[in-house]
Amino acid sequence: MTQLDQLKQFTTIVADTGDFQAMKAFAPQDATTNPSLILKAVQKDEYKPLLEKIVREHAALSTDGIIDQLLVAFGLEILKLIPGRVSTETDARLSFDTEGTIAKGRALIKLYEAAGIRRERILIKIASTWEGIRAAEVLEQEGIRCNLTLLFSLPQAIACADAKVQLISPFVGRIYDWFKKSSGQDYTGADDPGVQSVRSIYTYYRKFGYATEVMGASFRNTSQIVELAGCDLLTISPDLLKQLAESDAPVQRKLSKETAQSADLKKISLDEKSFRLALNDDAMASEKLSEGIRLFCADAVKLDKIVDGLR
């Protein structure tokens, strides 16, 4: 069996791409997108007709409205290829706007439902800021499932679980990047700080019986992926999916509910003040969260300009 086939025995595999043509070969259960992936996709020749069609058909809408239509159009195409769920991201410029994020989540779900898609097949991606978590809490109460992204720390994960969100996406690769740059050394296998972060979150969740799903994200190499075999879900780029599909090296389960329940942990309570202090005290998490929001905001602006240029 390939590494990819072995992983599928322990973990739900998710394709991390806006390029729905690229995911056909790997038969993932779910798929995720983000502003950077959509921006990259719409600049490819094969997706320009879809972009032009959306702009043409919705020319009377605002740029923001056209972007919503575009995101959903990509989501609809992806849903034709997978049996599970697609994650569609809210505008990163709403990361500190609870009411704006709630409104955006409702708007995206309304578009999907108008196209005949049940809301159970959609995850609304929201940045794991305090404001984003509060928005997700409201949306979840309305039956709109959420994927909390740009997550780099246990306090963020705990706040998400307490808000009863459906799923979180801790970013393995970006944590690895920060520590590699900060320390000047490389990390492999179980010593990788990104891997350790996801393991600690998974263990905490299963120790205390949280229902929130853990989906490792943002991988730099297949070693990071293999070290998290057994995590609820792993979202993986097409390049790394290809590497896993071409390798037959053994994969062993590394994470399990049974092992987590035997861990010696104390439950942590967080309110807004303690959340913000804990996040501020974690230089890596606070820096990577801010950086991630800036990058997604920049790509959202670029996407706006592409759409405006076609109007």
- Tell me the pTM: 0.96
Average pLDDT over residues 65-87: 96
Whether residue 24 has pLDDT greater than 90: no
Please give the pLDDT value at position 221. Answer: 97
Mean pLDDT across the chain, nearest whole number? Answer: 96
The pLDDT tens digits for 80-117 are: 999 999 999 999 999 999 999 999 999 999 999 999 99
Q: What is the pLDDT of residue 220?
A: 97
pLDDT the model gives residue 35: 82
Catalytic residue numbers read 125
- State the total domains in the chain: 1
Measured CA to CA, the distance from residue 167 to residue 149 in angstroms comes to 9
Query: What's residue 280's pLDDT?
Result: 98
H helices of the chain, in order, are 3-10, 35-42, 48-57, 63-79, 98-114, 130-141, 154-162, 172-183, 193-207, 222-226, 238-245, 257-261, 272-281, 283-310
Q: Is 185 left (phi over 0), alpha (psi -120 to 50) or beta?
A: beta
CATH code, domain with 179? 3.20.20.70
Q: Residues near 67 by Cβ (< 8 Å), separated by ≥ 6? A: 91, 300, 303, 304, 307
Q: Please write the tens of the pLDDT for every residue from 113-132.
A: 999 999 999 999 999 999 99
| Cα–Cα dist 26/302, whole Å | 30
Q: Are 85 and 122 in contact (CB under 8 A)?
A: yes
Q: What is the pLDDT of residues 199-246, one digit of tens each?
A: 999 999 999 999 999 999 999 999 999 999 999 999 999 999 999 999
Q: Which domain holds residue 90?
A: 3-310
Q: Are 86 and 79 in contact (CB under 8 A)?
A: yes
Q: Note the pLDDT of residue 23.
A: 87
